Amino acid sequence: MDIIEMRKFRRREQGEKMKVKDVGERALISTIHRLQAIVPMGYLGIGDDAAYLPPSPAGWLISQDMLVEGVHFRFDWITPEQLGEKAVAVNISDIAAMGGIPKAILTSIAVPGNFDVEVIEALYRGMAKALDRYGAVLVGGDTVSSPDKFTLDVSVVGHPGAKGPVLLSGAKPGDRLFVTGRLGASYAGYMLLCHNVSWPSTSIQHRSVLQAHLAPVARVEAGQQLGALAHAMTDISDGLVNELKAMTRFGGIGARIEAERVPIDQATQMVAKEYGQDALDFALYGGEDYELLAAVPPSRAREAELLCLRCGVPITEIGVVTDTLGIHVMRDGEELAVDERKGFHHFALDQD
């Protein structure tokens, strides 16, 4: 039993919880280290000034995402373990969106001193669980104190797929637009949480959309399969319309999608109905779905579907890239007004 364990043991004997401020950074790092998988040969891990990523003939992809308590999550909505899992998944989703293979993460946390050490342990257990799932390891980061809110910033590095990084740009007129999985479920989950329906809810539909919001899954394997065929790809973190706008930003192109084809599951439909909302809006503007959106040349469309299904991920063709500007959403032969400012963003600043 090391010193951190001993202190914890004594405190637990006394029915007290150990606080971060009683432990100090080095002991906290030891705990974090112990909770993680062994860092493979070639990587140098936690404890030195910098981590080392071995040579890769394909180069490296790197992305960074920050989550702030009270902005991106609330501890009365999400368990620390779910938060750890989600923080890793949403970062790895950025690597999946480039058709890449995640390899390692670095995690910086800013922790208020009166935080329970148990919460940090649970957080890193959640991260370890997600890292196991995606075959990546924790190689470094930073642990600092915060005066008030808990903040978590994760960097993820990975290799590009065999054809190199798949960019957001590169879509061509005539490309078929595909999305993986289902859309809008995360927003449905968020809506439940806003109405005090918390995890784990008793209803199976509620659990399904809460799960989508609290424990999203990155589409790593599907990303590699689609990435080998796609002209352009991204993950749907900010709602389908915003991602389509981002994808068609350059080159004088646009997109036309069929509302009926947008994959929205029954649980999401049910929750939308419960609150008098249109589930399509959840899918178009809701965000945090972490499904993939890919523009695939028509000649490879059937192949894309097959490859994706072969790795167990549903895939749906929802529309086409056009040679005119703008995002057009068709329903029953009529065009719906697309409102990019539609009020489905959680936070004033986090619009993208």
Tokens of 218: 């990155």
Amino acid at 320: V
- Interacting residue with a copy of itself among 50, 204, 276, 332 (CB under 8 A): 50
Provide the CB-side half-sphere exposure for 54 (13 A, CA).
7
CB atoms within 10 A of CB 350: 13
The dihedral through the CA atoms of 85, 90, 95, 96 has a sign that is positive
Instruction: Map the footprint of a copy of itself across residues 128-147, applying CB under 8 A.
Output: 139-147
Tokens of 114: 């009166």
Q: What is the widest separation between alpha-carbon atoms in the chain?
A: 70
**Complex with a copy of itself: residue 249 or 331, whichever CB lies closer:** 249
**Complex with a copy of itself: residue 119 or 259, whichever CB lies closer:** 119
Candidates 123-131, 149-157, 198-206, 278-286; binding stretch for a copy of itself (CB under 8 A):
149-157
C-alpha distance across the termini of the chain, in Å: 46
Give the Å distances, CA to CA, from 310 to 100, 180, 221: 18, 13, 10
308 vs 322: CA distance, rounded Å: 24
CB of 192 to a copy of itself, least distance (A): 22
CB of 45 to a copy of itself, least distance (A): 11
Short-list 157, 147, 321, 350, CA closest to 245: 321
- Interacting residue with a copy of itself among 78, 81, 85, 94 (CB under 8 A): 94
Does the annotation place 339 within a ligand binding site?
no
How many residues at the interface with a copy of itself, by CB under 8 A?
77
- Interacting residue with a copy of itself among 51, 241, 244, 271 (CB under 8 A): 51
CB atoms within 10 A of CB 352: 10
β 137-146/176-180 pair status: unpaired
121 vs 119: CA distance, rounded Å: 5
Give the Å distances, CA to CA, from 203 to 80, 268, 279: 23, 13, 18
- Interacting residue with a copy of itself among 33, 39, 58, 336 (CB under 8 A): 58
Candidates 60-68, 120-128, 190-198, 265-273; binding stretch for a copy of itself (CB under 8 A):
60-68
CB of 233 to a copy of itself, least distance (A): 8
Run of H or E including 243? helix 240-247
Candidates 6-14, 160-168, 171-179, 295-303; binding stretch for a copy of itself (CB under 8 A):
160-168
54 binding a copy of itself? (CB under 8 A):
yes
Tokens 């959840």 appear where?
Answer: 282
Does the annotation place 73 within a ligand binding site?
no
CB of 57 to a copy of itself, least distance (A): 5
Does the annotation place 49 within a ligand binding site?
yes
264 vs 336: CA distance, rounded Å: 17
- In total, the chain counts a number of residues equal to 352
Does the annotation place 238 within a ligand binding site?
yes
**Complex with a copy of itself: residue 158 or 259, whichever CB lies closer:** 158
Instruction: Map the footprint of a copy of itself across residues 10-39, applying CB under 8 A.
Output: 20-21, 24-26, 28-29
CB of 293 to a copy of itself, least distance (A): 11
- Interacting residue with a copy of itself among 4, 97, 264, 283 (CB under 8 A): 97
Annotated binding site for ATP: 124, 141-142, 237
Annotated binding site for Mg(2+): 49, 63, 65, 94, 142, 235, 238
Annotated binding site for substrate: 72, 288, 344
Annotated binding site: 49, 63, 65, 72, 94, 124, 141-142, 235, 237-238, 288, 344
